[in-house]
Amino acid sequence: MNIFKLIVIYITITISFSIYGQDFNGGVLGGINATQVFGDNYSGPNKAGLYLGVFVNRYFSNRSSIQLELDYIQKGSRKNPDGSTGDYDTYLLRLNYIELPVLYKYDFAEKGTLETGLSLGVLVHSYEEANGSTAVSGEDFSSVDFSFNLGAYYTLATNLRINLRLSNSILPIRPHSDGQTYRLNKGQYNQGIAFILHYIIPGLSR
């Protein structure tokens, strides 16, 4: 799947929301994503990235809704040198995705909401270096990232909400460098904790 197909899917579902949906709203979102790669032997979260996008949301009951997003998300991993321990090794991995999350949201309180769902991301750029060199061993990264998401919202104002979102790849983004697997551990996986502001655009609500 390429970026064009992902955008077509988003536009198609968005039009369906706007035509058939009740209690429909939409807006923009932005925040910071703290990430690590499980399986690269570096503890984390150890890398910060951007989390930007747009969303549409449709209520199908008083408390339950479905939210669709089209996001640009920066993921990856980082290791900085530690002179106090004599460890001067460095590592940097940047993975940038265009991602389509589909989320179920439940309003458990007047200002509180829980969410869970899946997302499909397309890798648009990758960069990896170790000790200043880009000649890093390992297979290419998968062109897609299929992830599980879990989060919570708190309403700050009428049209502004803050969101804490946890994400974890369901499928490995690439195999381990030695090719070994153990039970559900099939390779390296993206993991992230995002802090996101969601702004509902009044003109898009109905």
In this structure, what CATH number is given to the domain that contains residue 90?
2.40.160.20
- This prediction's pTM: 0.88
The tens digit of pLDDT for each residue in 13-26 reads 666 665 555 567 88
Three-state SS at 83: helix
Q: How many domains is the chain partitioned into structurally?
A: 1
Question: DSSP characters for 118-173?
Answer: EEEEEEEEEEEEETTBS---SPPPPSEEEEEEEEEEEEEETTEEEEEEEEEESS-S
Rounded Cα–Cα distance for residues 153 and 61 (Å): 18
Residue span of the structural domain in which 98 resides? 3-204
Which has the closest alpha carbon to 78: 124, 31, 129?
129
The H-or-E segment that residue 3 falls in is helix 3-20
DSSP letter assigned to residue 183: T
Residues 6+ apart with CB under 8 A from 94: 47, 49, 74, 76, 125, 126, 127, 128
Q: Are 93 and 47 in contact (CB under 8 A)?
A: yes
pLDDT tens-digit profile of 171-204?
A: 999 987 666 666 667 789 999 999 999 999 986 6
